[in-house]
Homo-oligomer: A and B are copies of this chain.
Amino acid sequence: MSARAPRVTINDVASRAGVSKGAVSMAFNDRPGVSRATRERIFEVARELGWAPHHTARSLSGRRAGIVGLAICRPARLLGLEPFYMEFISGIESVLTERGCSLLLRLVRDLDEEIALYEEWWRSKTIGGAILVDFQQEDPRVAPLRALGLPAVAVGHPSLTGGFPSVWTDDATAAADAVRYLAALGHRRIARVGGPAGLGHSAIRARAFEATMAELGLDGRRQVSTRFAGEEGARATRGLLLARDRPTAIVYDNDIMAVAGAAVAAEMGLVVPDDVSLLAWDDSQLCRLTHPPLSALSHDVHRFGAEVARALFEVIEGTRSGALQVPTPSLAPRGSTGPPRSRTGT
């Protein structure tokens, strides 16, 4: 009907950037094979020419260009205190920024509010996709959000995410590794300071902890639930270390609680690791800034966030429907773990 305006194609982008069509495609799918510099040049040319991959353009047309939603069900105060989410969000942003996309962030009070929010965001064409986090067992978000047709990536074990393409890390193996490592050092009384019992990945870690302890003939019931706050980690540590048969090693579900645990040990005159070994999870820079530095189940949370964002683009573009496993947290032994000084009382 209308006169045809010259249409920008992938060939124009490739030729202007001085690369092959394949390189443009690889860049936009965040696949290896193009250098960082080349990728950035390709994105710049694409921005200049106003070109976007076909699938993205089609899926996002009529939607707010490139806005991705993330609702987090956590009190604002707590969110500000935990390194995990900020590193995770920074990883998401690192990929969104490359694509000229932004993150729409909202804290919600409960999952019903989260469901209503996504319905509103999707129906009002505010967002082009969503990142779903903190899956519970039998998560109530799955059915209504699947029915909505919202393109989304679920962060969590595939057994929890009810058919949403998930990005996950093997918490069970990591928790078992932690127990076996501490047992190999000679620890018999090992405790765990975990996250909320209802949270899927905390429950997976709790079960793996208890099962591995049982395999080794040890009692895996010394576990405390928290909401991940440092103060709770301090309180839990104090409680554990004041008990008659105090543990000689403690595994924490994040790093801020382990840092707090180290301060409690110091305040009680206990030497780390001689009197008590401490093992953190997540491994933000905090773990390397304490003295002694904290041993950790280390994973790259920033990269985890980046992988989630990439997976969401693939879902929007229709090239991903299955799960993506990111590397299992691996043990980074540092100064806070060692053989127990005394082995009495086991």
Chain A interface residues toward B at CB < 8 A = 64-65, 67, 76-77, 79-83, 85-91, 93-94, 96-97, 102-109, 124, 126, 229-231, 234, 256, 259-260, 262-263, 266-267, 284-286, 289-291, 293, 301-302
In the assembly, what is the distance between CA of A262 and CA of B266, in Å?
Answer: 14
Give every chain B residue within 8 A of A105 (Cβ-Cβ): 89, 93, 102-105
Residue of B nearest to A265 (CB): B291
Nearest 9 CB-CB pairs, A to B? A80-B90, A80-B87, A266-B291, A76-B94, A86-B86, A76-B90, A102-B106, A263-B291, A260-B289
Chain A binding site: helix, strand, loop or mixed by DSSP? helix
Give every chain B residue within 8 A of A285 (Cβ-Cβ): 81, 229-231, 256
Q: Are A284 and B107 in contact (CB under 8 A)?
A: no
In the assembly, what is the distance between CA of A256 and CA of B287, in Å?
Answer: 12
A128: min CB distance to chain B, Å: 13
A223: min CB distance to chain B, Å: 22
Give every chain B residue within 8 A of A82 (Cβ-Cβ): 86
A81: min CB distance to chain B, Å: 5
Q: Are A90 and B97 in contact (CB under 8 A)?
A: no
Give every chain B residue within 8 A of A64 (Cβ-Cβ): 64, 124, 126
> Which one of B94, B104, B234 lies within 8 Å of A107 (CB-CB)?
B94
In the assembly, what is the distance between CA of A37 and CA of B300, in Å?
Answer: 41
Give every chain B residue within 8 A of A289 (Cβ-Cβ): 230, 234, 256, 259-260, 263
In the assembly, what is the distance between CA of A253 and CA of B293, in Å?
Answer: 23
Give every chain B residue within 8 A of A96 (Cβ-Cβ): 106
